[in-house]
Amino acid sequence: MTGRLVFPVGRYLGMLPIDRPSGPTLEHVVRIGGRRMELSADEHLVWALAHGVPGAPDLDRWDRAAMRANLPDRSADTDVDGIADRLLGVGLLRELDGPVEEFARSVRLLPQAVGLGNGGADGRTFWIGFPGSPLVSLSSEIFYVWSWAGLEPDLYAACVRATTVGLPLGDRDPRVLVAAVVGDLHALLAPNVACLDATLAPSASPAASPVAGPAAGPGADPAASPGGAA
């Protein structure tokens, strides 16, 4: 039986120098909203595993069991559940344990790659990746959401926008699209063509303010764009 789907929240900034009493040290750093959070090696491993593993057969049902099954051999004794609970507590992981629409209203989807155009004869398949390196192909519906999502305060709002202004004639119920997008999220997260982030207040949405930048506050990253790669 499949457990609750697990999703990482935040954008990985790499290993950055952090001042410690004993001197500077390199730490894994994730930005979530306007905060930067430092992760230990084990925490980073579990957070990274929550993205999924490209090509894994169970990518569409990525739960804690899938994370444990895909641990590297050298890290087989990692306490996935204990660390996952800790990351859930600080907002760096989310589990789908309620209505999918509620989950979609609690996260924001940010592109981290570029659209490479149509890749199918029927005109309904699009590639995402980098020039010369396509990483994932998506249906036109999911592609439209991916392309709009960085302009909206949350994933549900991005699906509403796609159904009202982006999609061709068809099923315009955003709840249907939300379910499809959430079901395909790990296909976007595993190859890092998108990430999930904290939601924005409506007044802070880039769609509402063309000059809006990253959220301000302690640890904010003034050089990063909300919709671009780190």
What type of residue sits at position 32?
Answer: I
pLDDT score, position 205: 52
pLDDT score, position 159: 93
What type of residue sits at position 44?
Answer: H
How far is Cα 39 from Cα 15, in angstroms, rounded to an integer? 10
- Tens of pLDDT along the chain (230 residues) come to 468 999 999 999 999 988 888 888 899 999 999 899 999 999 999 999 999 999 898 898 999 999 999 999 888 889 999 999 999 999 999 999 989 999 999 999 999 998 988 876 777 788 999 999 999 998 888 998 998 899 999 999 999 988 887 666 556 788 999 999 999 999 999 999 999 999 976 655 555 433 333 333 333 333 333 333 33
Tell me the C-alpha to C-alpha distance, in Å, between residue 15 and each of 28, 29, 125, 171.
4, 6, 35, 44
pLDDT score, position 171: 61
The answer to whether the beta carbons of residues 46 and 84 sit under 8 Å apart is: yes
pLDDT score, position 141: 86
pLDDT score, position 58: 87
pLDDT score, position 43: 97
Tell me the C-alpha to C-alpha distance, in Å, between residue 68 and each of 39, 62, 76, 79, 224.
19, 10, 8, 9, 32
pLDDT score, position 23: 81
pLDDT score, position 124: 78
